[in-house]
Amino acid sequence: MSFTDDIANFVKKANGNSDQVVRRTVLDIGTRLIERTPVGDATYWKSKPPPGYVGGHARSNWQHSTGAPIVSEVPGIDADGAVTVEKIAASIPAKAAGLVHFIANSVPYIIPLEEGHSRQAPFGMVGLTVVEFGGIVNAAAQAVNK
């Protein structure tokens, strides 16, 4: 199925609920990215971690925006990802259809993580989610149109 077919099916299934479908789609994509992002585990590292190291910084840096991606790194950690999922959910506007949505991560090591440099995510996060895009949209449309 092509991207054009995915969009045509999305429009057909949305039946006037396009804002809800887009909101669900963006949140599902964000959740998948967050959950797939590895949390640093120093027991696997070749060198010692810095004093006080706690994993979860990459997970905490998934940020949603509309119009343009956010390119700044945020401080903090979110090892289980729950707070970051909540932030993404809160950032999606009620009138979500027709906007360009971005989910970006600006930690300097996000590309190596995507390229499989973690044994927790050997196939990355973004590429897997992109492959699932059509199914994510279809599931969102079906859930809204029940």
Domain ranges of the chain: 3-144
Each residue of 13-42: pLDDT tens digit?
555 688 999 999 999 999 999 999 999 888
- The string of pLDDT tens digits covering residues 74-114 is 999 999 999 999 999 999 999 999 999 999 999 999 999 99
Q: What pTM was computed for the model? A: 0.86
Tell me the C-alpha to C-alpha distance, in Å, between residue 92 and each of 70, 99, 115: 14, 10, 28
Strands (E), the chain: 62-66, 101-105
* Per-residue H/E/C for 35-66: HHCCCCCHHHCCCCCCCCCCCCHHHHCEEEEE
